[in-house]
C-alpha cells in the first residue's frame, strides 16, 4: 500500500521502525539512530551490505535470514548492557558504553558525522580501523 501510494502520489516517506526486514523492503535510504543521534546514513543496499558503525553491524547481524545456508554463516553480534537514558547520556560517543571498540577518545568527544564512502556517512572515531 505504501509503495502504491508513493508511486501514484509521488510521495517521500520518513518511515520509522525497528523491524529491519520491513525497513529494508520499503526504503531506498536508511538512517540508523542511537540515543537520538544519527550514527549512520547510506543507501539501503550499501548500509545492509557494508555497515560501518558498530551499532549498525550489531543490528544487521540480528536480522533473520530466510536462507538456512546464509543463516548458518551469519555471526550474531550481541551487545552488552542497556541503552542509557537520553536524560543522562554518556559523554562523547553516545554508543560508547556498549561498544566493543570504545577507547579513551570515544569518552572525550562526540564523533563527527562524516562521509566515509560516497554518500555513506558514519559517526565513529574508529570507523577506518574497524572496517
Ligand atoms: S566512536 Fe568509539 S564508542 Fe562510538 S561507535 Fe566508534 S568506536 Fe564505538
Each residue of 39-79: pLDDT tens digit? 999 999 999 999 999 999 999 999 888 788 878 888 899 99
What is the 8 CA–ligand 1 centroid distance (Å)?
Answer: 42
For residue 24, give Cα distances in angstroms to 16, 17, 33, 54, 129: 12, 10, 15, 18, 27
Cell numbers 556498549: residue: 98
Instruction: Quote the percentage of the chain above a pLDDT of 90.
Output: 79
* CA separation for the pair 62, 56 (Å, rounded): 10
pTM listed for this prediction: 0.92
- The top-level CATH class assigned to 2-130 is alpha beta
Q: Which of 98, 126, 129 for a ligand 1 pocket mutation test, highest count of atoms within 8 Å of Cβ?
A: 126
- Break the chain into its structural domains and give their ranges: 2-130
Atom of ligand 1 nearest to the CA of 125: 1
User: Atom 6 of ligand 1 has which residue's CA nearest to it?
Assistant: 124
Cα 98 to middle of ligand 1, angstroms: 9
Ligand 1 atom with minimal separation from the 55 CA: 5
Amino acid at each position: 500500500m505504501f509503495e502504491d501510494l508513493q508511486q501514484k502520489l509521488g510521495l517521500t516517506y520518513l518511515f520509522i521502525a525497528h523491524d529491519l526486514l520491513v525497513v529494508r523492503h520499503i526504503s531506498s535510504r536508511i538512517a540508523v539512530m542511537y540515543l537520538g543521534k544519527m550514527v549512520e546514513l547510506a543507501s539501503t543496499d550499501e548500509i545492509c551490505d557494508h555497515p560501518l558503525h558498530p551499532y549498525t553491524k550489531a543490528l544487521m547481524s540480528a536480522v533473520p535470514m530466510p536462507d538456512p545456508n546464509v543463516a548458518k554463516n551469519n555471526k550474531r553480534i550481541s551487545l552488552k548492557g542497556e541503552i542509557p537514558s537520553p536524560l543522562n547520556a554518556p559523554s562523547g560517543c553516545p554508543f560508547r558504553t556498549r561498544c566493543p571498540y570504545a577507547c579513551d577518545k570515544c569518552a572525550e568527544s562526540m564523533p563527527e558525522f562524516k562521509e566515509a564512502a560516497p554518500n555513506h556517512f558514519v559517526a565513529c572515531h574508529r570507523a577506518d580501523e574497524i572496517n
